[in-house]
Chain A
Amino acid sequence: MNYTGIRNNETIPISTIPELDYSSFLELNVFTLLNTAGSHCVSYFGFPWFDKIKLICCIAKDEQNSICISSSVIDMKQPLPSFSNYKLVFEKFEREIHENFGINYTDHPWLKPVRFPFNRFDKSSNIANYPFFKIESEELHEVGVGPIHAGIIEPGHFRFICNGEQILHLEIQLGYQHRGVEQLFLDKKKLLQRVVLAENIAGDSAAGHTVAFVNLWESLCKFQPGRDLQLSRTIALELERIAVHTGDLSGMCTDVAYQLGSAVYGRLRTPVINYFQKWCGNRLAKGLVRVGKNNYPITQTLADELLVLFEEYEKDFEEISEELFSLPSTLARFEKTGVVTTEQAALVGTVGMSARMSELKRDIRFSHPHDLYPELRHEPVLRNQGDVYSRGRIRKKEIDQSMGYIRELIQNLPSVEAADQLGNPIPNSFAISLVEGWRGEICHCAITGDNGDLIHYKIKDPSFHNWLAMALAVRNNEISDFPICNKSFDLSYCGHDL
């Protein structure tokens, strides 16, 4: 055993993480991934450690409900053999390490930039000289889309290589939204500042990222959250899932010009986010989740209102879903469009909904349950086609599931207990927190220094890996099907760019 096995939301002294030399570190992690069914890499990052770099790799074993942590200290100057050569899922992590610290890999497929952080190693690499994949051909043509989006979403540049209407290759260049969130976590010393920062990592996953942060911080401070706290966090996550999934179904209808679906789903989303407004004063659930205290406990009145809301929601939701998933003209657009096979999904390491649509059973609620999920005994919704239809269908099923969970949870409201005093973070520790946001697995890692202050904070948004799955999905599809593929994944730009 040359790794430490921990549970989700567990804090361990950093000295208990075995420090291996790089070649056995590589061997261990690649070996674990290859030989453990249902294992995937949740985070792999480096941070300055004295005058060297310490690499930490976290591999989740879904069946054992444990996360294996191992580490290695390396010299910045020395080129290393890459993990990606054995398992492609490490490709983006290694690009990130290369970009941040200038570590060179001898056999990495392509060390192109990830997000152009402000404190990157090579300042001469910037967004203007991004090395695009190029073609020399008379027959093929390139179409560049963005970075300014035609609608209202975020900036990103998409470059297609097409043969007529058919997409042969798509390259996605991100980094326009980089704000330096991870660095800000270290710079902002007040806890409230940090929570607000977590809320703003990705605006559409406010609940997801904030729950990940507060669970992590409470674990670092050895604070045991009461049942009422856990309840409101679980409900916030599930309500966010309902709201965003409904909005996405509306967006998918808009992109195939199915007006009825677009209008009905759009209308259904509003009462759900308005419920957040009533609950905590913000429609995106900002301000709802806080470390160590519950500012907005669920009262009986709120719970009753939610039941009434669901009753009205469900009636229309089931009716329009029945219509949408049986209408020939929408099925013709959804089915067999943007397919990601199980092999491809496993290869690029997709997480969350984008993994479940290709029959990869990845769901933190099921494999590493936190808050009240252990009681819910969540069973992930799986599809095996990996097309737009699957992604739509999973959303529909997950909404039904989430409504069931919330109904179950609010049957017995716990009394609001006076919370314990929140202590200070334990010095020299490592903590990890995994949360299943609506988009997929959110991973936050923190490392504290001698005086208990943060010395490194690492965030991995589900979009980090899923963007590549989207690029694969559109291959050999028509370029006019790109928008519907994109919408059906609905990935985050700022979650990726941090």
Chain B
Amino acid sequence: MISFILIVLASLFFTGIINRTKSITSGRKGPGIFQPMKDIVRLLKKGSVYSKTTSIIFQIAPSIYFASIIMAIMVIPLGEYKGIISFEGDFVFFAYILGVGKFFMIISALDTGSSFEGMGASREALFSMFAEPAFFILMGSFALLTGHTSFQEIFASMHFGPYISYILGVLATFVLAMITMIENSRIPIDDPKTHLELTMVHEVMILDNSGFDLGMILYATNLKFAMYGALIANLFMGSFPLYLTIPFFFGIQILFAIAVGLLESFTARFRMNHNAQYILALSSVSLLIFLGVLVILGQLN
């Protein structure tokens, strides 16, 4: 329960911090860190407009997407403290419940019949597909290392003993951070601020959504950021007592948001065909982690 509450709290300011960092680096004052939330609240107060060409799928997809994120967050623990749901193999559940949400967003984009949205949907499907092995090799390696298969047990029993495990921690952070950028469609994979439909990935899929639906989708993005931030924080928390865990959790979230902001300020995004290559390369970083785990376990002679 505690992790759920903390993630929701972190989601309130996460994108705000990214935007503020980007504003400061470009020499602007920028909006307050709660501005994205205020925008979402404004959207939630509005009704939605549906195109006549769309079917029921288009109307239910945002709710399913939002629900899938909430479900995924429930699985995430906070160090030793279990999430609301916790069972053997829950990281598989985590990945595929997110997949369900994404699947509905993709078919709802196709439902609109727009040539742009179909294009965005095909890109999103491709990139998520490529990101999947990276996540599973990473979690699988940790399962092998700790001998457990649920998030809570994996994170609780992870100790950074030998020096090589620090390297694993850094690599795992990198992989998770990049998966966050892919899943949230941020630079260098996608540019959430662009007005150019032809270059969009996620943004173009939600062009037809409006009002309450759009508000839900945008808030889901904020939640997703905080969710992956929580996963990264978990990597290092181990068995800290609660009074240390909570500041540590927020510290990691804020650092992560600032890092995302800095990355988005000083680099350009990839060319679209480099995205697929880049995401596939993430899997090889995960394989390195797997190799490291084998070394630690002494199974490599």
Q: Using a CB–CB distance below 8 Å, which chain A residues touch chain B?
A: 141-145, 150-151, 165, 253-260, 262-264, 267, 327, 329-330, 332-333, 337, 478-483
Pairs of residues from A and B, 6 with the lowest C-beta to C-beta distance, nearest first? A263-B26, A257-B191, A258-B268, A256-B268, A480-B272, A483-B196
Say yes or no: A165 contacts B272, CB within 8 Å. Answer: yes
Q: Within 8 Å CB of A165, what residues of B? A: 119, 272-273
A selection of 20 A-B contacts at a CB cut-off of 8 Å is: A145-B198, A150-B196, A165-B119, A253-B268, A255-B194, A255-B196, A257-B193, A259-B265, A260-B26, A260-B265, A260-B266, A267-B27, A327-B268, A329-B268, A329-B269, A330-B268, A478-B272, A478-B273, A480-B271, A483-B198
Say yes or no: B199 contacts A480, CB within 8 Å. Answer: yes
Q: Within 8 Å CB of B194, what residues of A? A: 254-255, 257
Q: Within 8 Å CB of A253, what residues of B? A: 268
Say yes or no: B115 contacts A333, CB within 8 Å. Answer: no
B28 at the interface (CB under 8 A from A): yes
Q: Within 8 Å CB of A337, what residues of B? A: 271
Q: Using a CB–CB distance below 8 Å, which chain B residues touch chain A?
A: 22, 25-28, 115-116, 119, 187-188, 191, 193-199, 264-274
Write the chain B residue with the least CB distance to A484.
Answer: B199
Say yes or no: B271 contacts A143, CB within 8 Å. Answer: no
CA–CA, A158 and B267, complex, Å:
29
Say yes or no: A259 contacts B195, CB within 8 Å. Answer: no
Say yes or no: B199 contacts A332, CB within 8 Å. Answer: no
- Main secondary structure on chain A at its contact with chain B? helix
Write the chain A residue with the least CB distance to B126.
Answer: A165
Minimum CB–CB distance from A325 to chain B (whole Å) comes to 12
Q: Within 8 Å CB of A483, what residues of B? A: 196, 198-199
Say yes or no: A257 contacts B269, CB within 8 Å. Answer: yes
CA–CA, A483 and B265, complex, Å:
20
CA–CA, A107 and B2, complex, Å:
78
Say yes or no: A260 contacts B25, CB within 8 Å. Answer: yes
Write the chain B residue with the least CB distance to A158.
Answer: B198
Write the chain A residue with the least CB distance to B115.
Answer: A143
Q: Within 8 Å CB of A141, what residues of B? A: 115
Q: Within 8 Å CB of A257, what residues of B? A: 187, 191, 193-194, 264, 268-269
Write the chain A residue with the least CB distance to B200.
Answer: A480
Write the chain A residue with the least CB distance to B188.
Answer: A329
CA–CA, A480 and B127, complex, Å:
15
CA–CA, A327 and B188, complex, Å:
14
CA–CA, A312 and B270, complex, Å:
33
Write the chain B residue with the least CB distance to A263.
Answer: B26
Say yes or no: B268 contacts A143, CB within 8 Å. Answer: no
Write the chain B residue with the least CB distance to A323.
Answer: B266
Write the chain B residue with the least CB distance to A143.
Answer: B115
Q: Within 8 Å CB of A478, what residues of B? A: 271-273
Say yes or no: B115 contacts A263, CB within 8 Å. Answer: no
Say yes or no: A479 contacts B267, CB within 8 Å. Answer: no
Say yes or no: A259 contacts B271, CB within 8 Å. Answer: no
CA–CA, A478 and B188, complex, Å:
17
Write the chain A residue with the least CB distance to B116.
Answer: A143
Q: Within 8 Å CB of B195, what residues of A? A: 150-151
Say yes or no: B267 contacts A258, CB within 8 Å. Answer: yes
Say yes or no: A259 contacts B25, CB within 8 Å. Answer: yes
Q: Within 8 Å CB of B22, what residues of A? A: 259
Say yes or no: B268 contacts A481, CB within 8 Å. Answer: no
Say yes or no: A479 contacts B119, CB within 8 Å. Answer: yes
Q: Within 8 Å CB of B198, what residues of A? A: 143, 145, 479-480, 482-483
Say yes or no: A481 contacts B115, CB within 8 Å. Answer: no
Q: Within 8 Å CB of A327, what residues of B? A: 267-268
Say yes or no: B266 contacts A144, CB within 8 Å. Answer: no
A332-B270 CB under 8 A given contacts A255-B196, A480-B198: yes
CA–CA, A260 and B196, complex, Å:
19
Say yes or no: A144 contacts B271, CB within 8 Å. Answer: no
A145-B25 CB under 8 A given contacts A329-B188, A481-B272: no
Q: Within 8 Å CB of B187, what residues of A? A: 257
Say yes or no: B268 contacts A142, CB within 8 Å. Answer: no
Write the chain B residue with the least CB distance to A266.
Answer: B26
Write the chain B residue with the least CB distance to A152.
Answer: B195
Q: Within 8 Å CB of A258, what residues of B? A: 267-268
CA–CA, A255 and B194, complex, Å:
7
Write the chain B residue with the least CB distance to A160.
Answer: B198
Q: Within 8 Å CB of A151, what residues of B? A: 195-196
Minimum CB–CB distance from B240 to chain A (whole Å) comes to 36
CA–CA, A75 and B270, complex, Å:
57
Say yes or no: A332 contacts B196, CB within 8 Å. Answer: no
Write the chain A residue with the least CB distance to B190.
Answer: A257
Q: Within 8 Å CB of B188, what residues of A? A: 329
Q: Within 8 Å CB of B116, what residues of A? A: 143
CA–CA, A320 and B27, complex, Å:
14
CA–CA, A259 and B21, complex, Å:
12
**Which among B26, B27, B191, B268 has the greatest number of chain A C-beta atoms within 10 A?**
B268
**Which among B22, B27, B269, B274 has the greatest number of chain A C-beta atoms within 10 A?**
B269
Q: Within 8 Å CB of A262, what residues of B? A: 26
A144-B115 CB under 8 A given contacts A150-B195, A150-B197, A165-B272: yes
CA–CA, A333 and B268, complex, Å:
8
Q: Within 8 Å CB of A267, what residues of B? A: 27
The residue from B115, B196, B270 contacting A142, defined by CB atoms under 8 A apart: B115
Q: Within 8 Å CB of A256, what residues of B? A: 268-269
Write the chain A residue with the least CB distance to B275.
Answer: A480
Minimum CB–CB distance from A141 to chain B (whole Å) comes to 7
Write the chain B residue with the least CB distance to A167.
Answer: B198
CA–CA, A263 and B29, complex, Å:
13
Q: Within 8 Å CB of A333, what residues of B? A: 268-271
Write the chain B residue with the least CB distance to A336.
Answer: B271
**Which among A142, A259, A267 has the greatest number of chain B C-beta atoms within 10 A?**
A259
Say yes or no: B28 contacts A263, CB within 8 Å. Answer: yes
Minimum CB–CB distance from A474 to chain B (whole Å) comes to 10
